[in-house]
Amino acid sequence: MGFTSSVFSDERLFQNGELRNEDLKYFMEMILMEMENHSNQELILLPFLDVNCTVNVTMVNPIRPRFVLFGSSIVQLSFALDGWGAILATIYSRKADIFLRGYSGWTSRQAVRVLDQVFPRDEAVQPSLVLVYFGGNDSVLPHPEGLNPHVSLPEYVENMRTIATHLQSLSEKTRVVFLTAPPINEAQLLEVLGIEDHDNEHRQKYADACVELCQEIGIKCIDLFHAFSEHDDWMETAFTDGMHLSAAGSRIVAREILKVLKEAQWEPSLHWEALPSEFA
């Protein structure tokens, strides 16, 4: 279908870089006007914010392997410039589709509540790969009045077990990889964000528990806590604020993911070199 460029370039849609709710309605009206004369699309419902409307869309084919990134802000921000999600999307262009399901501030407790919504078992096409990152927010030091996202270590382990079990039930070909929380730069985090309820000693306990769980249930795990620590300059280069990843930190994550995908004895292989390029 042919959208006019004005739909996507209209400055009304954005204010301070963010899409405004009232202008999303305008955006949808523009789409409906553009699609009025197209009759060969399927009808679907788009539940955007508080907008209830139906639009016609054409499915995008051919269907490629689907990779889903599921986690907290480390995932949500991964599609930013030089982020690890953007790196994967570039490497897997024409080979796989990368879907972002990142929710800033979330813990494993919130993740288990939405598993059926994010990963419905009755979906016709299931993900080929799900990369899961939770633990950074779970591992904050507990607040005496419960005013932060702390999740106890036993609950975190059981939540991650629940996530793994659900994802493994999607299909025989759905592969699951867990990523542990990396270390943080505590001094930078305090200076930039004023946050002091994170520490590496507590954080490593959650990372180690994630590794142990993955060994127990037989799924792949990327120990980012250990991987970051292998780089002499990680504390100075890996973060933008002491916790969220810089380009250098994202490159570490992307390299570790690609290494696991290359070494995994999966059929079919999900490493980028093993996947065909579309219309090559």
Task: Identify the active-site residue in 72, 73, 108, 139.
Answer: 72
Q: What does the alpha-carbon distance between residue 247 and residue 245 come to, in Å, rounded to a whole number?
A: 7
What's the chain's Rg over C-alpha atoms?
20
Task: Identify the active-site residue in 150, 166, 198, 244.
Answer: 244
**Is residue 270 a contact partner of residue 264, using CB atoms and an 8 Å limit?**
yes
Residue 82 annotated among the catalytic residues of the structure: no
Hey, what amino acid is at 158?
E
Residue 244 annotated among the catalytic residues of the structure: yes
Nearest to 270, CA basis, from 63, 66, 62, 61: 66
End-to-end Cα, the chain, rounded Å: 24
Residue 241 annotated among the catalytic residues of the structure: yes
Nearest to 134, CA basis, from 96, 89, 183, 179: 179
56 beta partners: 43
Burial state string for 149-163 with b = 16 or more CB within 10 A and e = fewer than 16: bbbeeeebbebbbeb
Long-range contacts of 197-204 (CB under 8 A, 24+ apart): 197/140, 197/141, 197/143, 197/148, 198/136, 198/139, 198/140, 198/141, 198/243, 199/141, 202/139, 202/140, 202/141, 203/135, 203/136, 203/139
Task: Identify the active-site residue in 10, 82, 199, 241.
Answer: 241
Q: Which residues are catalytic?
A: 72, 241, 244
